Amino acid sequence: MALSENAELEELIRRANGEGASQLPPASGAAQAAEDEELGGGFDTATLVLVARRSLLWVVLLIALGVTGSWLFLRYTKPVYKAASLLKLDERSEAQKIGIGALKQETAGPGQQLAGEVELIKSNLTYTNLKKRLALDVNYYVQGTVLENELYNAAPFRVQHKVSDPSLYGLKFQVSFPTAGRYQLSVKARGQELTGNYALGEWVKLPGAELRLEAVPGRPLPAGDEPPYSFTILNDGAINSYLDRNLEVKVVNPNANTIEISFADNNAAKAAHIVNNIDSVYLQEKLASKKQSTDSTLSYINRIIAENDRRLRVAEDDQQNFVRRSKSYDVKADVGTLKERLEELQLSREKLEQNLRLLDQVQTVVARGQLTRSENERVSDNLPGLAELNDPLLMPLLNDLDGQQRALRLTLLSQTDKTLAVQKAQISIQETRTALERQLGRDRDLLQQQLARLARQTSELNNRLMAMPELATQQERIKRPLDLYANTYQQLLNRKLDFSIQQAGTTADFSILSPAYPPAEPISPVRLLVYAIGLAGGLALGLGLIATRYLMHNTITSVQELERNTRASVLGIIPTYDKEKLEVSRLVVDKNPKSSVSEAIRSIRTNLDFISPANKKRIISITSTISGEGKTFVAVNLGGIIALSGQRVIILDLDMRKPKVNLAFGAENVRGISTILIERHTVAECVQRTSIESLDFISAGPTPPNPSELILHPRFDQLLAELHRSYDVILIDTPPVGLVTDGILIMRKADVPIYIARANYSRKAFLKNLNRLMSNNQFTKLCTILNDAKANTGYGYGYGYGYGYGYGYGSYGMGYYEEPTKPQTLGQKIKNIFS
């Protein structure tokens, strides 16, 4: 019996030290990094759908905000109306009727002519005449419900003004009619407000201006409670700027000579009226401008013709004097002739120099003593350029010398140089060589003379060529004004004829194809476009909000994310406990056995049985990454559920730095694990009972200075072995592994290490730490639990995850066992919507 107990104790110690854990070969660093990247990477559709669902109301609000902004923009923006007329322009010359119209030369095409008409319409002359026809210097307004409306040709009063202070231009003069025949005028000028009550029809003197208001016949003046009126006085610069800004003239069809005149304004009637008056002003201005331009041009041509004739005569006299002095009619042609002669002389010089070199070569060959290199070679073969010398005496002498040298060589084959025949041959060779050198000298002297003569000729031609640029410059200087005055004189005569023909009569054929009418719809703002922009803007902001929240989503919210980012098995989900507000972790499964939390933990208990059978004694460690993820709550309530199934369970609080298990049971922490490990107390003295009969716990005890060293002490293994004899399940609440290493030391001793992740609290980066923990320590049975999950984050609390065999009570059983909850308040509903 004693031997059996000792063997069991050794087995428990061995299991506590982790020797019984299955060992797998550690994965390589690159493979492990790739696997971790695959687990956490990629596009998470479930998270995107969750974020989109949570942001749906925000998207709707942003779209509503965009549409509301579009409505406000349309409500507070003045509409712009555009009136347009289509004109057809034709010019015909009366000179064509007398058969001389063909003499007129038109250089500009239809498009260029119409471009000139566009500039005429937008010229200051047209604006000046338009301001004479229309009263554009005073604008009248009436205050509407929201916006101020202009009363163009519809104001009940008319203003005459004499402004001496330019600062009054553009100011708003407020007008009201408190009594019949009188009006009240107010304006804020120079930092002070001028107000007065005056009679209609009388001139009013104000600082810097004189005004007179009179009623318009047929338009009754408003009563005192009518909306207030106002008017502004504009100077010429403001009117011209207003016309330039809103007037548009464009060519519609150059071939048909049609142009469009359009004007944009907040008042539709005013825009149409201005366009129709521009049409009339343009016709008058076109005819006047045409006649004025022709008269002015003709007078200018007459003056230029007289001056040009005088200058032309002076230029002709200068040209005659230059020809007499230089004896040349065309300096450029003479330059070409001189260059050709110089090129010929240069070729001759090169040929002579080549002959000199050939003579030097012949002399060198003669001095060498042998004219040919073999018996079969001739002198012409060794000196191929002799024919170029054109010397009839040189070649025979060379041939004679070559023959004599050959004969001497033959003679020397049979005789010595002492014989008479050899001496005679040598004398003949010497005489021939002397004659040949004499002939070479005469040829060289002749070539030197020819080169000297060519040099003199070249120098003379170069001197003449050097003088040519000055003569050419003088000739061009004289010829340039002569040609200019001659061409100008002929052109002026032709233009004078053209303008004389035009004076026969030019009329404008002006027709309005489509007059301007007050437009019914504004061109800006376009209601449909504004609403479309507002809708698209709101939708874009909503999608941007969803994208931003998705990219910033770094916490675990659902079991799908938990499974996606870790290789550990998921034991189950624990829903949010909302029956009461817990300041610290509490044992709640005994008070609410039918709640969703109790059912979820029962499902986790069932799944644990598939990992480690319940008929064997087990060590279960529960840890997390950081504090606050609910590991103590899970440890206490999981221990309670297992104890309620009939097994004896003890909970050990090994988080000695921050103990919480004693708080969960409302007990003291004066002694516990730390005092047991230092052998101050026994296990029996530290075990504390709970409200569940088969559930006990040992608190952490006073915080020691060296928790890690105490856990590594052999006394801790003996503690586990001693507890194994009395309890079926040892459930250890370990410190967070992301903060200290104590939890890893304890997980190595556990049969089933459990890792807690809290929904909407634990970061996804924590799961990478979990994956590294599994790889580095070979925790093949490490499981995870998603704590504090909302009702819509999982598949259903009753389903098992572990290895896929647990079933629990299912999603239907949850509704049956769920206790009735209090209805949510309005504040809670709003909070849930925006969470």
User: DSSP string of 346-381?
Assistant: HHHHHHHHHHHHHHHHHHHHHHHT-S-SSTT--HHH
Half-sphere exposure (Cβ direction) of 582: Cα atoms closer than 13 Å: 18
Separation CA 54–CA 58 (nearest Å): 8
The answer to whether 198 and 204 are in contact (CB under 8 A) is yes
Residue with more model confidence, 114 or 80? 80
100: its two tokens: 């001389």
Instruction: Check pLDDT > 80 for residue 384.
Output: no
221-238 confidence digits (pLDDT tens): 877 666 689 999 999 999
Distance, first Cα to last Cα, the chain: 63
- Please name which of 599, 568, 562 lies closest in space to residue 786, comparing C-alpha atoms: 562
Please report where in the chains the tokens 């499964």 appear, as a residue.
Answer: 589
Give the pLDDT band of residue 436 (cuts 50, 70, 90): confident
Measured on CA atoms in the order 657, 662, 667, 673, is the torsion positive or negative? negative
Distances (CA, A) of 581 to 214, 573, 661: 80, 20, 18
Give the pLDDT band of residue 382 (cuts 50, 70, 90): low
The answer to whether 815 and 595 are in contact (CB under 8 A) is no
- Ranges 387-391, 450-454, 517-521, 792-796: which has the least confidence: 792-796
527-559 confidence digits (pLDDT tens): 999 999 999 999 999 999 988 887 877 777 777
Please tell me the predicted confidence (pLDDT) of residue 228: 83
Helix (H) or strand (E) run with residue 41 in it? none
Rounded to two decimals, what is the model's pTM? Answer: 0.53
Distances (CA, A) of 193 to 167, 189, 643: 14, 6, 90
Measured on CA atoms in the order 195, 198, 200, 205, is the torsion positive or negative? negative
**β pairing state of 688-689 and 695-698:** antiparallel
- Ranges 31-35, 80-84, 407-411, 431-435: which has the least confidence: 31-35
Q: Which residues of 726-763 are buried (b: 16+ CB within 10 A; e: fewer)?
A: ebbbbbbbbbbbbebebbbbbbbbbbbbbbbbbbebbe
**β pairing state of 182-189 and 173-176:** antiparallel
Mean pLDDT (the chain) is 79
Distances (CA, A) of 433 to 409, 416, 418, 773: 16, 22, 21, 114
Sorted by sequence, the CB contacts under 8 Å of residue 374 that are 6+ apart come out as none
Instruction: Check pLDDT > 80 for residue 523.
Output: yes
Give the pLDDT band of residue 70 (cuts 50, 70, 90): very high
For residue 689, list its beta bridge partners: 696
Region of 641 please: left (phi>0), alpha (psi -120 to 50) or beta.
alpha
Please tell me the predicted confidence (pLDDT) of residue 509: 61
For residue 193, list its beta bridge partners: 188
Give the pLDDT band of residue 13 (cuts 50, 70, 90): very low
Other beta carbons within 10 Å of 704: 17
Give the pLDDT band of residue 67 (cuts 50, 70, 90): very high
Per residue, the 3-state secondary structure of 490-523, as one string, reads HHHHHHHHHHHHHCCCEEEEEEEEECCCCCCCCC
